[in-house]
A and B are shown apart, each in its own frame.
Chain A
Amino acid sequence: MSEKSTTLEFEEWSLTIRPKHGWFDVDIAELWQYRDLLYMFVKRDFVSFYKQTVLGPLWFFIQPLFTTIVFTFVFGNLAGLSTDGLPQPLFYLAGITAWNYFSDCIIKTSTVFKDNATLFGKVFFPRMIMPLSIVTSNLVRFGVQMILFLGMMGYFAAVGASFQVTSGVFLLPLLVLLMALLGLGLGLTITAMTTRYRDLSFLVTFGVQLLMYVTTVIYPLSAAPERYRWLIELNPMTGIIEAFRYAFLGKGDFDMWSLGYSSIATIVILAFGVVIFNKAEKNFVDTV
C-alpha cells in the first residue's frame, strides 16, 4: 500500500461520537443495517405470546368480538345511538378493529423506555428499532382482526344486510400507514416525556380510552352534535376511521379534505415525536 493511501486511511474514522446532535437525527442507513433485529423483535413478540397463553392467537379474536357485543348492547340497544343504517355489530367492529390498532400502537410504544431500560443500558442499537418493531407486530395482530371483520361482513352479506364495499378499500394501505404513524408519533412523544415526568404514564391508558369517545368509533360523525362536531373533526383519527368505514361498509363522512388533514396532522405529530424521542434517547440511560 502506498504511503498516501495509508495516511488517507488514517483519517477515515468509521465512527465519531460527539456530544450534540441535530434536531432530526435519524440515521436511516443504520436503521436499515439493523432490519434483522426488527424482524427478531417481531418474532419474539409472537412466539412468546403464543407460548405464554393457552388459547394463543384466539385471543386476537376474543377481545374485539366481546367488545362488539358489549357495544351493541350498551350503545346500540340501551342508548340507541345511530349507526348510519348499518347493522350494529358490523358498524362497531369496523370502528373497533381500526381503533384497536391505533391504540395498541400508542399504548405499547409509550412504555418503550421504561420496559427496555436494562436492555438499552447495556447494548447499543438504534433505539427507534424498538417502537418500529412494536408497530409492526401490532400490524400482524391487526391483520388477524381484519379476518374476523371480513368474516363478519361475509355473514351479514349472506343474511342480506344493507352495506356495500366501495372502491375506497384501495386506500386501506394508506389508512393503516396513517394509523401506525400517528400512534407511533404519539407513543414516541409520551415515552420520551415519561423518562423525565413519570406521572404521564398513568395518563396514557385512560387518556387513550377517553380519546376513543372523541373519535367516531361508537357513533357516526353524522350523528355527532353540531356543537362538538369541530372537536371531533379536530381529532385526526376521526377522518381515518370514517374513511375506513366508508371503504368497507359504504357509509361515513368520507372526503379527501379530512383525510388530507389527518395526513398532515400525522406527519407533524410523528416529526415531533421523533425529535423528542431522539433527544430523550441520548441521556435516558442516566435518568431512568
Chain B
Amino acid sequence: MSTAIKLEKVSKAYEIGQIGSGTLSRDIERWFVTKVLGKEDPFLKLGERNIRDQKGDSNIVWSLRDIDLEIKQGDRLGIIGKNGAGKSTLLKLLSRVTSITSGEIKIRGKVASLLEVGTGFHRDLTGRENVYLNGAILGMRKKEIDRKLDEIVSFSGVERYIDTPVKRYSSGMYVRLAFAVAAHLDSDILIVDEVLAVGDLEFQHKCLNKMEDVATQGRTVLFVSHNMASVKELCTTGIVLRDGMVDYSGDVVGAIQHYTSEALDLDIGAASAGAHGWVRICGMNGQREIKVLNTESFEVIADLSLADNIERIDIQCIMENAEGAQVVHNRDSGLERLSAGIHRVSAEIPEMYLRPGVYTLYFKLIAETEEGSFVRHLSDRLIIDISDDTEIFSGKVSATILPPVEWNVDSNFYEFSTLQHKRLDQSRDS
C-alpha cells in the first residue's frame, strides 16, 4: 500500500513568553544577524528539548524535533502522549494551520482536519446556514453541501430546529450539527483531535462509529486522544510522542502499553512512585489485552514491587469505557502487612454484563507504610475487549450494564384474589 503522509525531519519551534520576539529592536537585530551576516538565528538554540516542567535557557521551545514518520494509506494511527508532548502541534502542522520550522511534509490526497467542532459557526445564522458556512470553511464546495444536506441533517438529529438560529440550540445540539458536517467531508485523510470530549455518551458513541466507518472505507485516519480505550477501539497503529519526539511507533496495543507504563509517575508524582515501587498488570498468561465475553469472569495479575514494608494496602480496580467514563470501581479488596520486595497478586474480576466494547482496566493502590504515611499508586492499563454472546441488543443500546433478567409469570395470581380484581375494575371505571 502506498504512503499517504510522509514526514521528513519535521521540526517546529515556538517562541514562548512575550508576543513575537518582544521588541522591534530585537527583531531588527535578528534580521541583521540572519539576513545580512548570514548567521544562524541567535534566538533559536539548537538541540534544546521541549521538557515542560524544566526551565530552558532560551525562550524558544522545540515543540517537535526531527520527526520522521510514514503513514500508509488506510492506516488508522493513534497519536498519544502527555500534555505538551507535541500531539496537537503535529496535527496543526499536518492541517496547515501553522507552518513548520524545518523539514518537509508530503501528503497524498485531500486532508480534512477536525481540530475543533463547529469552527466558524455564527450564532445568528440558522442551522442550515451554518451547515453551508461550516462546510465551506472545511473546504467543501457549495454543490457538495447541497447534495449532502439531507444526510447531514438526519445524522445530526436536529431536523426540527434546522431553520432556527443556532444561538437557541442547546450545546449538545450545536455539537451534533457541527460534527455531522465534519463527518460528511469527502477526504482521503481525516485528522481528528479530541473532539469526542464534547457531547453526551450516546453521541460520542455515534461519532466513534462514524469514524470507524470512515476508516473501514480505506481512508487514512489520524486520531489524538488521551482516552486509551477509544484509541484502541479506533486505531490499528500508534505512536507515542514524548518531549516533541517519537518515543514509540508500532501497533496500537504496544503504543498504549508503552505510554501507560511511562505515564505511571505522571498521575501520582514522580517522587513517591520512585521511592515506593511500581505495579504492572496483565492477564493470566502475561497478555496485555484480554478478550472476554461479558458473561464471563476473567483474571488479572499484578506484580507489586514495594520499597518499604507496608502495613495495609488498599487495591481498587477501575474500568473505564471508550468514552473515558469510569464504569466499574471496586474498592473492598485490601491486603495487610506486606514486606518490601516483589509480590504477585491476582484477582478474579466477576462477570459484569457490560455493554460490548473496549474498556481499560487499572489498579489504584493506596498503601499505608509502617510509619503511618500514605502512598498512592496507579498501575498501567490493561485493555479489556468485551464482546457479547447474545447479539440481540449489541450496538443498539446505550446502557452500560446489560444484566440478564429472568421473568416469572404467575397467571393464577388474580384468580385467587377476587378482592384485588374488584379493586382493579373500580380504578378503571373512575
Contacts and interface: CB of A to CB of B under 8 A. Distances in A.
A122 B20 contact: no
A115 to B, nearest CB: 12
Given A18-B100, A34-B139, A44-B133, A13 B115 contact: no
Contacts, number: 114
Interface in A165-189: none
A52 B125 CA distance: 10
B119 A51 contact: no
A36 B141 contact: yes
A224 interface: no
B108 A122 contact: no
B282 interface: no
B172 interface: no
B418 interface: no
Given A36-B142, A47-B129, A123-B137, A286 B120 contact: no
A119 B116 CA distance: 10
Contacts of A6: 2
Interface in B67-95: 92-93, 95
Interface in B99-155: 99-111, 113, 115-116, 119-120, 122, 124-125, 129, 132-133, 136-142
> Which of A18, A118, A119, A198 has most chain B Cβ within 10 Å?
A18
A18 B8 CA distance: 10
A18 B104 contact: yes
Contacts of A196: 19-20, 27
A5 interface: no
B52 interface: no
Nearest to B145: A36
B346 interface: no
Nearest to A10: B2
Interface in A31-64: 34, 36-37, 39-41, 43-44, 47-48, 51-52
A285 B98 contact: yes
A123 B99 contact: no
B96 interface: yes
A264 to B, nearest CB: 28
B136 A40 contact: yes
A43 B131 CA distance: 13
B97 A124 contact: yes
A120 interface: yes
A283 B107 contact: no
B165 interface: yes
A197 B125 contact: no
B36 interface: no
Interface string B318-344: 000000000000000000000000000
Contacts of B111: 15
A118 to B, nearest CB: 8
Contacts of A85: none
Contact of A123 (B93, B107, B120, B129): B120
Interface string A1-25: 0000010011011111111000000
A286 B14 contact: yes
A48 B104 CA distance: 41
A209 interface: no
Contacts of B66: none
A155 interface: no
Contacts of A44: 122, 125, 129, 133
A30 B399 CA distance: 47
B15 interface: yes
Contacts of B138: 123
B120 A121 contact: no
B19 A125 contact: no
A19 B103 contact: yes
Interface residues of A, number: 41
A19 B20 contact: no
B122 A48 contact: yes
Contacts of A37: 136-137
Interface in A111-130: 118-125
Nearest to B142: A36
Contacts of B140: 36
B24 interface: yes
A124 B113 contact: yes
B27, B110, B139: which has the most chain A beta carbons within 10 Å? B139
A51 B93 contact: no
Nearest to B126: A47
A119 B120 contact: yes
Contact of B124 (A36, A52, A118, A285): A52
A123 B109 contact: no
Contacts of A283: 98-99
B93 A17 contact: yes
B162 to A, nearest CB: 15
A14 B20 contact: no
A282 interface: yes
Nearest to B92: A285
A162 to B, nearest CB: 47
Contacts of A121: 97-98
B124 A16 contact: no
Contacts of A287: 15, 19-20
Given A18-B104, A51-B165, A283-B98, A125 B124 contact: no
A47 B122 CA distance: 10
A17 B27 contact: no
Contacts of B20: 195-197, 287
A36 B140 CA distance: 8
Interface string B28-60: 000000000000000000000000000000000
Given A9-B2, A122-B119, A196-B20, A17 B141 contact: no
A125 B14 contact: no
20 contacts: A6-B2, A14-B108, A19-B99, A19-B101, A34-B139, A37-B137, A39-B136, A40-B137, A44-B133, A47-B124, A51-B124, A122-B115, A123-B95, A123-B119, A124-B97, A195-B20, A282-B98, A286-B15, A286-B98, A288-B19
The 7 closest A-B pairs by CB, nearest first: A124-B96, A17-B105, A37-B136, A13-B106, A282-B99, A15-B107, A40-B136
Interface of B: 2-3, 6, 14-15, 19-20, 24, 27, 92-93, 95-111, 113, 115-116, 119-120, 122, 124-125, 129, 132-133, 136-142, 165
